[in-house]
A and B are shown apart, each in its own frame.
Chain A
Amino acid sequence: MNEIKQISGTAIPLFLDDIDTDRIIPARYLRCVTFDGLGEHAFEDDRKQDPSHPFDQEQFQESQVLISGRNFGCGSSREHAPQALMRWGIQAVVAESFAEIFFGNCTSLGIPAVTCSRDDLKEMSATVQADPKVAVSVNIETLAVTVGDKQYACQIAESARNSLTSGRWDFLGLLLEKQDDIKQTAGEIPYLNSFAS
């Protein structure tokens, strides 16, 4: 897999808390057997109810970095949520915090999900609102989010950072390297061995 160290481009601000995965991709679009076409339905119901939703604004259409608030991606485990964002064009998410399953799903897809302080997010969001073309980058090697000429500290779980920056985020392949260890562990689990002590 490719090494993912920095995402650069422009940002789209959606500075709200507790954005759940039903809002990111409504359940009716989960009636599918592939992830194709999910991008156009990202935040569909929110967009219909809010004509000024950032995902519909011309100036944010080419954005790569999503800025949000606390507990982003809470709720359902649906990988359709980060898939929808990715297929819309998002390559990195910056928020105050993430729900765990969503965070894991992002890492599986090669999307860095980094956290920043609330005050910093507020400032970034305001900067991007005022100047949608301002250059934004998320660097998980240096743990910095840059917005124009301002730099902010960010964090990401070391395991995710390590996997992404080293290009070792094909977890399926890595897991399968340990076939002998897997079988050995299985041999020691009581319920797999008739509870023999």
Chain B
Amino acid sequence: MSDTRNLFNTVWDLHTVTELPNGQTQLFIGLHMIHEVTSPQAFEILRDRNLSVMYPDRTIATVDHIVPTTSQVRPFVDTLAEGMMSAIEKNCDEFGVTLLDIDDERQGIVHVVGPEQGLTQPGMTIVCGDSHTSTHGAFGSIAIGIGTSNVAQVLASQTMYLNRPKVRQVVVNGELKPGVFAKDVILHIIRKLGVQGGVGYAYEYAGEVFDRMTMEERMTVCNMSIEGGARCGYINPDQKTVDYLQGRPFAPKAEEFDKAAEWWLSLASTPDSEFDDVVEFAAADIEPTVTWGINPAQSIGISENIPSPEQFDETEQVGIAEALAFMDLTSGAGIKGQKIDVAFIGSCTNGRISDLRQAAEIAKGRRVAENVKAIVVPGSQLVRKQAMEEGLDKIFEEAGFEWREAGCSMCLAMNPDKLQGREICASSSNRNFKGRQGSPTGRTLLMSPAMVTAAAIHGCVTDVREMLDPASV
């Protein structure tokens, strides 16, 4: 009988240590990434129990959430942040874990660094104390976000207990229109399936649109799986995946790479693979998409109008009204033309070199509107370096953007980059939750980096398609 397992189940079975009577699996973890926010308490648990890290070479650390993006000179001005830096440095040193520290040019957002260094590979199980770990699924791995107790478990045993999720194939066929990006695709999927539609599922993204995407675009899609409730999302490995990994520092070398590539490609789901559910969307239906509410499913296409509570199921109306009141937006009005105060380009969703190139293409020769504060925060030091080699920093600065150091920055505002008061921000990040960008009453409009740039230049939400080079349309 042929193997009808999809990639997810093949990889899961390979990493299964034991199955418990209660239905859970003890799963071996191939790559454990840690950062300064969710690891200190985990190391403390190990100390309390006199335990060591079982596979220190399967664990790698960096610092991203709390690092400032203006000056990164130590000690940091924020003494709490500096304390967290000292803690991860001490912990990694004491437990033998490699740390890509702030003075290492490989430092950056953990979900940018993993792929960039070739740590992230197909067929792996990957965890990190961060919900956007789903990013690494772009390579055909099982990648999930975990809590701090789990971080301690994985450090000490390289395993954790998980319930095997169902697998839903999310198919998008057809061709995306010009000006429609990976970010718009995933915002559209979340809008259609809901913020909890993926609970209990892993998402396999399949179809022509994902086949055509670059690895970085695939990362943007998988990154936001968790915003749709799916703890994990992945795309089957193909030749692009193999080509991306070739020559990366932590990727296999020479003959071993050829053997690895053969194995990676063998993992992909086949036409015979079975799924617990399949949903399909048409690429042609996807517009540049912008959120209007306080969760990532509350979005509309740029040409649509902001909905009213009555358009939703009765059980959802209170939440919709709460979102409209918080955002101070009016039902029936368009989102196009909505004034913004801040523009943020960066994050683990859209802080990679291709994101910065797209943004720079729109920014080139134009000026950020008066009264708009616009910042560009590269996802890693190496992304920053590459962008500077290409002169993107100059394009941004000449247009009036601030060019910053690498980090998570205003995606969650644990560092000094924060909205003030009721400011409204066009943001290439992943969450528009109340208070997410550092001001309890601050507001976020999620969109693609190109759309953020367009909004920065016009001072209001703009259809980026109107600014594209006609030759490319």
Contacts and interface: CB of A to CB of B under 8 A. Distances in A.
Interface in A117-161: 118, 157-159
B229 A191 contact: no
Interface of B: 14-18, 20, 22-24, 26, 28, 30, 37-38, 40-41, 44-45, 49, 51, 54-55, 65-66, 78, 80-81, 83-84, 87, 121, 123-124, 129-131, 133, 145-150, 152-153, 156-161, 163, 195-196, 199-200, 226, 229, 231, 252, 256, 259-260, 263, 295, 315-316, 318-319, 322, 412-414, 431, 433-436, 438, 440-441
A44 B440 CA distance: 9
A104 B80 contact: no
B413 A181 contact: no
Given A175-B157, A195-B260, A34 B41 contact: yes
Given A34-B40, A71-B195, A97-B196, A182 B157 contact: yes
A182 B414 contact: no
B131 A101 contact: yes
Contacts of B436: 22, 27
B152 to A, nearest CB: 6
B28 A18 contact: no
Most chain A beta carbons < 10 A, residue from B14, B149, B315: B149
B263 A195 contact: yes
Interface string A176-197: 1011011001101111101111
A33 B259 contact: no
A178 B17 CA distance: 8
Contact of B147 (A16, A101, A190, A196): A101
A79 B38 contact: yes
Interface of A: 16-18, 20, 22-23, 26-28, 30-35, 44-46, 48-49, 70-71, 74-80, 97-101, 104-105, 108-109, 118, 157-159, 162-163, 171-172, 174-176, 178-179, 181-182, 185-186, 188-192, 194-197
A34 B47 CA distance: 13
Contacts of A79: 38, 41, 129, 147-149
A185 B16 contact: yes
Nearest to B23: A159
Nearest to A163: B22
Contact of B80 (A32, A159, A175): A32
Contact of A104 (B23, B78, B150, B435): B150
Nearest to B43: A33
A158 B149 CA distance: 20
A188 B124 CA distance: 13
B81 A77 contact: no
A76 B131 contact: yes
Given A35-B41, A162-B22, A176-B156, A22 B431 contact: yes
Contacts, number: 209
Contacts of B49: 172
A172 B319 contact: no
22 contacts: A16-B319, A20-B434, A22-B435, A27-B438, A28-B413, A31-B414, A33-B44, A34-B40, A44-B440, A45-B434, A45-B440, A74-B195, A74-B295, A75-B131, A75-B431, A97-B196, A172-B45, A172-B153, A185-B17, A190-B260, A192-B30, A195-B263
Contacts of A179: 157
Contacts of A27: 412-414, 436, 438
B40 A189 contact: no
A46 B319 contact: no
Most chain B beta carbons < 10 A, residue from A23, A70, A172: A172
Contact of A97 (B157, B199, B412): B199
Contacts of A163: 22
A195 B249 CA distance: 17
Given A22-B436, A172-B51, A182-B157, 13 more contacts: A22-B435, A46-B434, A70-B196, A74-B295, A77-B130, A79-B41, A104-B146, A104-B147, A178-B159, A179-B157, A181-B17, A182-B17, A194-B259
A182 B195 contact: no
Given A75-B431, A182-B17, A159 B24 contact: yes
B23 A158 contact: yes
A57 B147 CA distance: 30
Contacts of A105: 147-150
A26 B435 contact: yes
A76 B231 CA distance: 11
A80 B145 CA distance: 14
Contact of B256 (A28, A185, A189, A194): A194
Contacts of B131: 75-77, 101
A45 B413 CA distance: 14
Contacts of A77: 38, 129-131, 133, 145-147
B156 A175 contact: yes
Contacts of B147: 77-79, 101, 104-105, 108
Contacts of B434: 20, 22-23, 45-46
Contacts of B44: 33-34
- Among all A-B residue pairs, the 10 with the closest Cβ atoms: A45-B440, A108-B149, A105-B147, A79-B147, A33-B40, A31-B80, A195-B259, A79-B148, A175-B157, A71-B196
A109 B434 CA distance: 26
Most chain A beta carbons < 10 A, residue from B14, B23, B66, B196: B196
Given A163-B22, A178-B26, A185-B15, A33 B83 contact: yes
Contacts of A31: 66, 78, 80-81, 84, 414
Contacts of A101: 131, 145-147, 226, 231
A99 B252 CA distance: 36
Most chain B beta carbons < 10 A, residue from A35, A74, A100, A181: A100
